[in-house]
């Protein structure tokens, strides 16, 4: 039976933390690759989302004693935050699986990774955090990178890109909620809520839209996708047991590399120059914001 991880770090081993972080984003790329394959074979998005969460929920239930015990004695505020977080994640998954049917994986991944830039903007406007001129420049540079990728005034613009922009904003809120829940509940409890919510919401819909896959590969991918999604979140949580989030953050951009490889080798899609240029601007601005925050944190700690 799966034993859920502790909330507090067990040891400081940067190499293991980085390896686990890279593994997690590789697993997340496999989830999107599997989902894109399935929706391109005429399996409904509702069905794909349901299987992704139902299988993940089943895996989480193997260690259900922890989440059940925590839920029974949970404060109302924590319960509402977990429910809100699960809602954001499920909606983002649904929109993402629609978007990847029409857009290259590299494009969807690059747009999604503008979320740290949006978090910085939200912190500046609503949380009234001090933001220096360099961070402001990085924020605008990142938003410009998103515009370069989606090309809203170009003939090649596709409406599905707007779903990715929505997801980037929603994931920014999702990140802030996750940060608030960190240290209050475990990663498995968060998975329990997300998997359970996604399964319950899409169960009535899947009874209407269910179509049995015509190939054994499609059956395998539907279960594989859910298992890998569960594993990715578990590995992601364990990465933070060995190293700090500040150290691991830059390695999350490896997902763009994994998605580019999958897009090329599995679907034969090669990103054009503007996608690469926009992705570079987003990654550069994201790492710049991370570097400035790390620098400010070091200054405060040294006082």
Domain ranges (residues) in the chain: 38-302
CB environment 231-259: b (16+ within 10 A), e (fewer): bbbbbbbbbbbbbeeebbbbbbbbbbbbb
pTM of the model: 0.85
Residues (pLDDT < 50) of the chain are 1-10, 66, 69
> DSSP letters of 202-253?
HHHHHHHH----SSHHHHHHHHHHHHHHHHHHHHHHHHHHHS-HHHHGGGGG
**Span 258-275, pLDDT tens digits:** 999 999 999 998 888 889
Distances (CA, A) of 202 to 90, 130, 232, 289: 10, 42, 22, 37
- The whole-angstrom separation of Cα 187 and Cα 4 is 8
**Span 85-133, pLDDT tens digits:** 999 999 999 999 999 999 999 999 999 888 888 877 877 766 666 667 8
For residues 133, 136, 138, 142, the Cα torsion angle rounded to the nearest 10 degrees is: -170
**pLDDT computed for residue 131 by the predictor:** 66
Report phi then psi at 81, rounded to 5. -65, -40
Distances (CA, A) of 238 to 22, 52, 180, 242, 261: 12, 21, 18, 7, 25
* Residues in CB range of 105: below 8 A, 6 or more apart: 29, 32, 33, 36, 259, 260, 262, 263, 267, 269
Listed residue (109, 41, 115, 90) closest to 195, CA to CA: 90
**pLDDT computed for residue 130 by the predictor:** 63
Residue 243 tokens read as 């190293």
**pLDDT computed for residue 299 by the predictor:** 58
Rounded to a whole number of angstroms, the CA Rg of the chain reads 19
Residue carrying the six token digits 């979140």: 233
Q: Determine which helix (DSSP H) or strand (DSSP E) holds 163, and give its type and residue range.
A: helix 160-181
């Amino acid at each position: 039976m799966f034993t859920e991880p502790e909330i507090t770090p067990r040891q400081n081993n940067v190499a293991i933390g980085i390896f686990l972080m890279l593994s997690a984003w590789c697993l997340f790329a496999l989830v999107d690759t599997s989902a894109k394959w399935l929706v391109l074979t005429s399996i409904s998005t509702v069905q794909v989302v349901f299987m992704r969460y139902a299988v993940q929920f089943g895996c989480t239930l193997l260690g259900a004693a922890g989440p059940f015990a925590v839920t029974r004695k949970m404060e109302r505020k924590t319960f509402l935050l977990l429910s809100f977080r699960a809602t954001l994640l499920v909606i983002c998954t649904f929109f993402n699986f629609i978007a990847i049917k029409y857009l290259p994986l590299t494009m969807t991944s690059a747009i999604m990774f503008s979320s740290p830039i949006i978090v910085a903007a939200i912190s500046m406007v609503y949380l009234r955090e001090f933001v220096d001129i360099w961070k402001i420049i990085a924020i605008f540079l990142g938003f410009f990178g998103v515009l370069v990728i989606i090309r809203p005034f170009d003939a090649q613009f596709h409406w599905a890109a707007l779903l990715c922009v929505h997801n980037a904003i929603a994931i920014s809120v999702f990140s802030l909620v996750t940060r608030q829940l960190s240290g209050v509940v475990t990663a498995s409890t968060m998975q329990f809520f997300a998997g359970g919510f996604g399964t319950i919401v899409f169960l009535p819909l899947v009874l209407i839209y269910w179509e049995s896959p015509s190939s054994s590969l499609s059956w395998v991918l539907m279960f594989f996708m859910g298992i890998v999604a569960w594993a990715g979140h578990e590995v992601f949580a364990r990465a933070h047991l060995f190293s700090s989030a500040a150290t691991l953050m830059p390695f999350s951009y490896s997902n763009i590399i994994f998605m580019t490889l999958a897009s090329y080798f599995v679907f034969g899609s090669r990103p054009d120059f503007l996608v690469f240029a926009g992705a570079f601007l987003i990654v550069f601005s994201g790492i710049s914001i991370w570097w400035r925050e790390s620098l400010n944190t070091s200054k405060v700690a040294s006082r």
